[in-house]
């Protein structure tokens, strides 16, 4: 089944909606806080029931969280209003307790958001730039300027942020903060997280941009209620993020799930990573443009941007040009190969296709999805549904903000936490 379009109405709260009693290894105060944030607001009695702990324990811990400034009491919403009795009391995250920023750096546009501790958007900004890689000082200066702009819009200073989530395309070791390769950087093996943190003076947490889209779905989108799902992004490159048991999976060294760089052709087309035969080299925008310049005789239009060339290719396809349609059809077949491998490897509940190139419906046409089903294992069960999501450019930055929220919560409320100041 192929379900396309925008997201459904936004659920209240933010963060994964993890079923009760499925996470007992995390500190109880952290479980309580995260359940409140995910619900938006919730009564103490519901917390006790969902976590299978005594009401007295919930009362004690929530009182501590209120005193520390993490939670606050609000009048509970009622299904019906009788006008009698004392108003019911619920708990919610105190929004202004902490603020974090999410930043996405790309080779065409930089975006950033500031959100509060409850996940509410305070400010956002998007800045276009000239395509091409930057050296380390340039990327640090661009990040600092972007953050100063979005903080000014939020009415705060950069130093008032509790953490920054930073996303870049490429191969990123999120544990060490090292970018081993990225199209936005001139050099390889760059300790970008540490360098940005040293310049700005705020904790910086860095990740691959496809993981950030996945975090955005997990915290704010269709993945909040799902235990296992995959997100495939198609833009300037091809990326993937996978959630297993409500947590994003990164691999032993934090660099797994590189679907775009799985090999589909020995000695095949040159990928921008420097190797040959990668799936990305047949599906991403530069692959489509490479084919278009040959098939449509566009060699004299070298000065046109990739976006303009892709729009021209798409217009030709829609107008019935057989060569243009063949280019999209070929890319769609390679995409179906990648999707069938995801199904066979992970058996997800849902696969989400996201990114700017999702407007090119040839990539997920009926015959493409039918081919995916044919290449998937025959288990006598329907394949996972495919959804097409068009969040917009700020999606990536929202995912970076989710990364920052997660890290701050771990630091403040997790095992070995800091002493929280009121």
Which CATH number belongs to the domain containing residue 275 in this structure?
3.30.420.40
Per-residue pLDDT tens for 236-286? 888 999 999 999 999 887 778 889 999 999 989 999 888 999 999 999 888
Residues 179 and 301 in one domain: no
pLDDT category of residue 207 using cuts at 50, 70 and 90:
very high
- The answer to whether residues 190 and 83 belong to one domain is yes
C-alpha count within 13 angstroms, C-beta hemisphere, residue 272: 24
Is 153 inside a domain boundary? yes
Domain match, 128 and 168 both: yes
Calculate the average pLDDT of the chain.
Answer: 87
Residue 9 in domain: no
- CA 365 → CA 192, 332, 388, distances in Å? 39, 8, 11
pLDDT band at 86 (very low <50, low <70, confident <90, very high): low
323/253 same-domain check: yes
Residues 360 and 233 placed together within one structural domain of the fold? yes
Is the confidence at residue 113, as pLDDT, over 80? yes
Q: Are residues 48 and 134 in the same domain?
A: yes
Residue 5 lies in a domain: no
pLDDT tens readout for residues 119-161: 999 999 999 888 889 999 999 999 999 999 999 999 999 999 9
Does the pLDDT of residue 219 top 60, yes or no? yes
Model pLDDT for residues 283-318, shown as the tens digit of each residue: 988 888 888 877 777 655 555 677 788 888 888 888
| pLDDT of 363 above 90 | no
Domain identity same for 112 and 40: yes
Determine the average pLDDT of the residues in 336-340: 93
Structure confidence by residue, pLDDT tens digits, 32-85? 999 999 999 999 999 999 988 999 999 999 999 999 999 999 987 665 555 555
Q: Does residue 2 lie within any of the structural domains?
A: no
- What is the share, in percent, of the chain residues with pLDDT greater than 90? 54
Are 29 and 98 in a shared domain? yes
Q: Is pLDDT of 21 > 70? A: no
pLDDT-derived band at 421 (thresholds 50, 70, 90) equals: very low
Is 261 found in the same domain as 321? yes
Q: What is the mean pLDDT of residues 365-370?
A: 81
**Total domains, the chain:** 2
Of 353-362, 372-381, 397-406, minimum mean pLDDT range:
353-362
Residue 378 lies in a domain: yes
390 CB-near residues (< 8 Å, 6+ apart): 5, 6, 354, 358, 359
203 & 147 share domain: yes
Residue 255 maps to a domain: yes
Range of the domain at 301: 227-349+356-389
Number of residues written out for the chain:
422
Residues 296, 416 within the same domain: no
**Residue 341 is assigned to a structural domain of this protein:** yes
380-411, pLDDT tens digit by residue?
888 899 998 876 778 889 999 999 999 999 99
- The reply to whether the predicted model has a pTM over 0.75 is yes
Residue 1, domain member (yes or no):
no
pLDDT digits (tens, 9 = 90+) for 410-420: 999 886 554 44
Contact criterion met (CB below 8 Å) for 371 and 329: no
Whether residue 333 sits in one domain with residue 303: yes
């Amino acid at each position: 089944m192929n379900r396309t379009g925008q997201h459904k109405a936004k659920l209240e709260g933010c963060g994964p909606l993890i079923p009760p009693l499925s996470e007992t290894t995390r500190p109880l105060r952290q479980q309580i806080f995260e359940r409140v944030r995910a619900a938006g607001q919730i009564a103490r009695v519901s917390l006790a029931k969902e976590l299978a702990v005594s009401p007295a324990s919930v009362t004690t811990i929530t009182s501590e969280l209120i005193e520390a400034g993490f939670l606050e009491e609000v009048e509970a919403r009622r299904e019906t209003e009788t006008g009698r009795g004392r108003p019911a009391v619920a708990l919610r995250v105190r929004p202004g307790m902490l603020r974090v920023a999410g930043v996405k750096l790309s080779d065409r546009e930089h975006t950033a958001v500031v959100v509060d501790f409850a996940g509410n958007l305070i400010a956002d900004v998007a800045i276009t730039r000239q395509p091409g890689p930057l050296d380390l000082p340039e990327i640090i200066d661009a990040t600092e300027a972007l953050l100063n702009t979005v903080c000014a819009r939020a009415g705060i200073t950069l130093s008032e942020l509790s953490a920054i989530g930073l996303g870049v395309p490429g191969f990123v070791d999120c544990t060490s903060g090292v970018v081993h390769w990225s199209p936005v950087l001139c050099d390889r093996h760059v300790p970008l997280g540490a360098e940005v943190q040293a310049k700005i003076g705020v904790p910086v947490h860095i990740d691959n941009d496809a993981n950030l889209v996945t975090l955005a779905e997990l915290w704010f989108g269709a993945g909040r209620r799902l235990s296992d799902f995959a997100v495939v992004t198609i833009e300037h490159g091809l990326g993937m993020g996978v959630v297993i048991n409500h947590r994003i999976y990164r691999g032993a060294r934090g660099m797994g799930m590189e679907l775009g760089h799985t090999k589909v052709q020995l000695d095949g087309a040159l990928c921008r990573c420097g190797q040959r035969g990668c799936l990305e080299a047949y599906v991403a925008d530069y692959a489509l443009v490479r084919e278009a310049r040959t098939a449509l005789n566009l060699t004299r239009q070298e000065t046109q941007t990739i976006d303009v060339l892709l729009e021209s290719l798409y217009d030709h396809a829609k107008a019935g040009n057989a060569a243009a349609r063949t280019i999209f059809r070929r890319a769609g077949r390679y995409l179906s190969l990648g999707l069938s491998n995801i199904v066979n490897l992970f058996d997800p509940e849902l696969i989400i296709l996201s990114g700017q190139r999702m407007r090119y419906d040839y990539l997920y046409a009926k015959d493409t999805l039918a081919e995916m089903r044919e290449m998937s294992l025959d288990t006598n069960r329907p394949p996972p549904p495919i959804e097409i999501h068009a969040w917009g450019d700020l999606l990536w930055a929202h995912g970076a903000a989710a990364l920052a929220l997660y890290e701050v919560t771990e630091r403040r409320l997790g095992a070995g936490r800091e002493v929280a100041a009121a």
